[in-house]
A and B are shown apart, each in its own frame.
Chain A
Amino acid sequence: MIEVIDIHKQFGEQKVLKGISSVFEDGKCNLVIGKSGSGKTVLIKTMVGLVEPDSGDVKYDGRSFTQMNKKDRTILRREIGMLFQGSALFDSMTVEENIRFPLDMFTDMTEAEKLEQVNFCLARVNMPNTNKKFPDELSGGMKKRVGIARAIVQNPKYLFCDEPNSGLDPKTSIVIDELIKEITIEYNMTTLINTHDMNSVMGIGDNVLFLHDGLKYWEGDSKEIMNITDGELFDFIFASDFLKNLRKNARV
């Protein structure tokens, strides 16, 4: 479980996060949605320590991340997996080297054990026999899957995904969403997904947090979100006439 307590963050004069609090539970896909510039990415980066908050706290199963020293943070980070928007695979390494890098760096596993773990993760994301390929030989969806394999290779307790569907076609987006959902349940992870994609919200959103102008505007599950009738969240979800009509027809 991850607890976010009254997080504030300001860049110069611009207040990006104005006191966000929430609880993200184990085994659930927690989605953070909001318009561009609403503070989603800053929130996720603050939670993993890539950005320091001005005030507030982030607790990982009761352990205060903001008050930890550098050494403890490094240890905690080994329990975190992250899928980046652009996958962030290391260009100079093959798929296998990318996935095994955390094992090489932080474990004393034998070569055979590492290879077994890499192959297991690749099979889990439906990418067998791609060990020797380089990132520039992969499609966008394949890169995301390798990114997920790298994120789960150390059996993390917490998984962060920054816009996992950006740049993907609708069908591949659904595959990635389902994969994240399956892995979350399988590993009983606390998963936090930052997205714009309403398909993801409806498909895998166990808990949805809507940010608007640096504030938590709404929180609930994907079923409740359909009953929203007005306000910023309604404008965000039903931005297109197509979706508005779809909702109208569904109600009729």
Chain B
Amino acid sequence: MPSRNSKSVYFFYIRFSSMGKIFHDFGVYLILLGRMFSKPEKPRMYWKETFRQMHDIGIGSLTVIAIVATFIGAVTAVQFSYQLRGIGLVPMWWVGAIVRKSLILEMAPTLTALLLAGKVGSNIASELGSMRTSEQIDAYEIMGVNTSSYLIAPKIIASIVVIPMLVIISVFLGIIGGWAAGVLGHFYSTAEYVRGVQDYMKNWDLVVMLIKALLFSFAISSVSCFKGYTVKGGALEIGKASTQAVVLSSIVVIIINFFVAFLLLD
């Protein structure tokens, strides 16, 4: 049985080696992002790749985002209608305002980002990972292509452009979902809901939503690119990298979400 002293040495070894790995990985991540900023060999080729990625991320995710956003709006409306009905003192048109506010500030950007961390994040990590293990990235390198720029920059730019658009679409669909659920359930009339959606609208809320969407899209795409690009090994490691990309980018999204809310909403 190990002595108390050797146990504590082992504890510190494990703690510091895992801490060291975190710092090492963060350093590699920053270096990779740094290498991304170089003059493109042929800008036209980079744009072509960026538009391909925009199509994959945007059109490829639209259906799932639409379904989830509509039902999130609907369930928010039903939940609040149920609560406010119970209280009885609050006018039902407030539901429209609550649905709009919660969608803009929290539901649409955060849930969209978490969904995309799963869909787009794993897709990016496994695509780059399989390119790495099948020597396709080496083939680009041999040709003289700056792979960290050509393979990563278009994915990050495409995410930054497309994900905020998906967030805006999900706000609209969520509001429509809330209206449909409330009217079908006879909680409120269309006129009441529309009044709620329009009242007390703050432009700052939209700014916060867009800031969140931009930060989330950068986090999801860059973390997933890092995990995929640095894969070593075979199929098993690609699977691990893909899972790690989803988990890590989801955690980063949640942390960013807190700090944005903490710093920008007083």
Q: Which of B141-149, B168-176, B192-200, B241-249 contacts A (4 or more CB under 8 A)?
A: B141-149
A105-B45, A106-B41 as given contacts; A80 in contact with B142, CB under 8 Å: yes
How long is the Cα–Cα vector from A81 to B139 in the complex, in angstroms?
A: 9
> Is B45 in contact with A88, judged by CB distance below 8 angstroms?
no
> Is B134 in contact with A106, judged by CB distance below 8 angstroms?
no
Interface string of A31-61 (1 = CB under 8 A from B): 0000000000000000011100000000000
Is B21 interfacial (CB-CB < 8 Å)?
no
- Point out the residue from B45, B130, B134, B142 that lies within 8 Å of A77, measured CB to CB: B142
Q: Which of B130, B131, B142 has the most CB of A within 10 A?
A: B142
> Is A102 in contact with B134, judged by CB distance below 8 angstroms?
no
| Minimal Cβ-Cβ distance residue in A for B145 | A105
How many of B's residues come within 8 Å of A, CB to CB? 16
> Is A50 in contact with B42, judged by CB distance below 8 angstroms?
no
How long is the Cα–Cα vector from A75 to B143 in the complex, in angstroms?
A: 9
A106-B41, A106-B42 as given contacts; A101 in contact with B143, CB under 8 Å: yes
Interface residues of A in 57-103 (CB under 8 A from B): 73-75, 77-78, 80-82, 84-86, 88-91, 101-102
> Is A82 in contact with B144, judged by CB distance below 8 angstroms?
no
How long is the Cα–Cα vector from A2 to B28 in the complex, in angstroms?
A: 33
A81 — which chain B residues lie within 8 A by C-beta? Answer: 142
- Point out the residue from B131, B135, B143, B146 that lies within 8 Å of A102, measured CB to CB: B143
Is A182 interfacial (CB-CB < 8 Å)?
no
Is B25 interfacial (CB-CB < 8 Å)?
no
> Is B139 in contact with A82, judged by CB distance below 8 angstroms?
yes
| Minimal Cβ-Cβ distance residue in B for A76 | B144
How long is the Cα–Cα vector from A91 to B135 in the complex, in angstroms?
A: 12
A104-B45, A105-B41 as given contacts; A84 in contact with B143, CB under 8 Å: no
Least CB distance from A81 to B in Å reads 8
Least CB distance from A166 to B in Å reads 13
> Is A78 in contact with B143, judged by CB distance below 8 angstroms?
yes
> Is B139 in contact with A84, judged by CB distance below 8 angstroms?
yes
How long is the Cα–Cα vector from A90 to B45 in the complex, in angstroms?
A: 15
How long is the Cα–Cα vector from A77 to B135 in the complex, in angstroms?
A: 16
Is B18 interfacial (CB-CB < 8 Å)?
no
Least CB distance from B231 to A in Å reads 15
> Is A88 in contact with B144, judged by CB distance below 8 angstroms?
no
Least CB distance from B182 to A in Å reads 45
How long is the Cα–Cα vector from A25 to B56 in the complex, in angstroms?
A: 47
B145 — which chain A residues lie within 8 A by C-beta? Answer: 105
- Point out the residue from B42, B136, B144 that lies within 8 Å of A75, measured CB to CB: B144
How long is the Cα–Cα vector from A125 to B139 in the complex, in angstroms?
A: 19
How long is the Cα–Cα vector from A102 to B41 in the complex, in angstroms?
A: 11
How long is the Cα–Cα vector from A106 to B145 in the complex, in angstroms?
A: 9
> Is B143 in contact with A88, judged by CB distance below 8 angstroms?
no
> Is A50 in contact with B141, judged by CB distance below 8 angstroms?
yes
A75-B144, A77-B144, A102-B143 as given contacts; A88 in contact with B42, CB under 8 Å: no
B134 — which chain A residues lie within 8 A by C-beta? Answer: 86, 88, 91
| Minimal Cβ-Cβ distance residue in B for A90 | B136
> Is B136 in contact with A88, judged by CB distance below 8 angstroms?
yes
A73 — which chain B residues lie within 8 A by C-beta? Answer: 144
Least CB distance from B95 to A in Å reads 46
Q: Which of A80, A81, A89, A105 has the most CB of B within 10 A?
A: A105
How long is the Cα–Cα vector from A81 to B146 in the complex, in angstroms?
A: 16
Least CB distance from A149 to B in Å reads 13
How long is the Cα–Cα vector from A80 to B143 in the complex, in angstroms?
A: 7
A84 — which chain B residues lie within 8 A by C-beta? Answer: 135, 138-139
| Minimal Cβ-Cβ distance residue in B for A85 | B135
B42 — which chain A residues lie within 8 A by C-beta? Answer: 104-106
> Is A50 in contact with B138, judged by CB distance below 8 angstroms?
yes
A86-B134, A88-B134 as given contacts; A105 in contact with B139, CB under 8 Å: no
A88 — which chain B residues lie within 8 A by C-beta? Answer: 134-136, 138-139
A89 — which chain B residues lie within 8 A by C-beta? Answer: 136
> Is A78 in contact with B138, judged by CB distance below 8 angstroms?
no
| Minimal Cβ-Cβ distance residue in A for B38 | A70
Interface residues of B in 59-86 (CB under 8 A from A): none
A75 — which chain B residues lie within 8 A by C-beta? Answer: 144
Least CB distance from B56 to A in Å reads 10
14 further interface pairs, Cβ-Cβ under 8 Å (given A48-B142, A78-B143): A50-B141, A73-B144, A74-B144, A77-B143, A80-B142, A84-B135, A85-B135, A86-B134, A88-B135, A88-B136, A88-B139, A91-B131, A91-B136, A101-B143
11 residue pairs A–B, Cβ–Cβ below 8 Å = A50-B142, A84-B135, A88-B135, A89-B136, A90-B136, A102-B143, A105-B41, A105-B42, A105-B45, A105-B145, A160-B142
Query: 5 tightest A-B contacts by CB?
Result: A77-B144, A88-B135, A88-B139, A74-B144, A84-B135
